[in-house]
Amino acid sequence: MTTYLTEYAKFTDKHDMDEAAKRHIAANWNEMNATDRAVLDLIRRYSVKYGAAHLKHDTMAKGVVKSNVTVRRAIRKLEKLGIIERIHFIRPVMSGLGANIYIILPFIDQSKLTTPEEAVKPCDSKPQVDNADSEPLFSKSIITKDLKRTSPAELSPTTLFGKMKALLASTIGDSTLARRIFGVYRSQSVRMLKFSIYEDKGDLFEELAIRALQISVQASKHKDIRNIPGYYDGVLRKLINEALFSDIFMEYDVPMEGFFMK
């Protein structure tokens, strides 16, 4: 079932999404080549039903008849131009990395944005009447779920270390392990990020780090794990190997058994 994709959709109508794609192409025509436009069109076609597309690189490569490397280059350009958003998707059941989710973003007409001259207006010296009875406290365009999402009771941690600490505190009640677990993550990620082929995967490594911690915490509830950082080390290594292995596999036609040293 792919109905979960509706959670990522930026449009409620496919015609609005099609129009946004057309306007993106028109506005960035000189920045895009034929492959970029073909990849965008493929994402658009796969997004018609649910507003987002869940695609593997090899599926996209076959769809536009280009190599995986060329497709990934086009995806990075579309992201840089603000045309699409890419979300790394992790299969919760298999504890592994799935295909990416691609979302076409709404088109923002830069020419219609407020200019500095328009933004600065003379202050009216007349006092403003507080008409609280006739005006709503919040705009009607703001829906309840947005209020819950954008107005949390307390600020959420933004750093990976902060997220790890908060997760441990809210689950096993011991946030002191966060520093050791973060050290495990740093040891594994830094070793891989130094290679140019992985230098753009920082966000993916952080996502896998949190996923590995969730798996470790969940496992500790069902069995006796005396060394959670050690268990986390094994889980994270498995997720990273699977993520990078599956990405590399699509670039080679030869069997990959024995390619990595164990």
- pLDDT value, residue 193: 82
Give Cα separations from 57 to 65, 174, 235, 238 (angstroms): 12, 40, 25, 21
Poorest-pLDDT segment among 31-40, 81-90, 114-123, 175-184: 114-123
> How far is 86 from 104, CA to CA, in rounded Å?
9
- pLDDT value, residue 110: 66
> How far is 75 from 64, CA to CA, in rounded Å?
12
> How far is 50 from 6, CA to CA, in rounded Å?
5
Q: Which residues are bridge partners to 103 per DSSP?
A: 85
Helix H or strand E segment including 55? strand 53-55
> How far is 5 from 53, CA to CA, in rounded Å?
7
pLDDT in tens, 160-186: 898 999 989 888 887 888 999 999 999
Poorest-pLDDT segment among 68-82, 140-154, 225-239, 243-257: 140-154
- In this predicted structure, the answer to whether residue 21 has a pLDDT above a threshold of 90 is yes
Total-model pTM = 0.46
- In this predicted structure, the answer to whether residue 75 has a pLDDT above a threshold of 80 is yes
Q: What is the mean pLDDT of residues 128-138?
A: 45
Average predicted confidence (pLDDT) for the chain: 77
Q: HSE on the CB side for 91, CA within 13 Å?
A: 12
- pLDDT value, residue 140: 40
- pLDDT value, residue 82: 92
Poorest-pLDDT segment among 7-16, 29-38, 117-126, 217-226: 117-126
- In this predicted structure, the answer to whether residue 34 has a pLDDT above a threshold of 90 is yes
Specify whether the CB–CB gap between 228 and 177 falls below 8 A.
Answer: yes
- pLDDT value, residue 93: 44
Chain CA centroid to CA 69, Å: 20
Q: What is the mean pLDDT of residues 239-250?
A: 65
- In this predicted structure, the answer to whether residue 143 has a pLDDT above a threshold of 50 is no
> How far is 203 from 141, CA to CA, in rounded Å?
32
- In this predicted structure, the answer to whether residue 58 has a pLDDT above a threshold of 80 is yes
| Both structure tokens of 99 | 């295909």
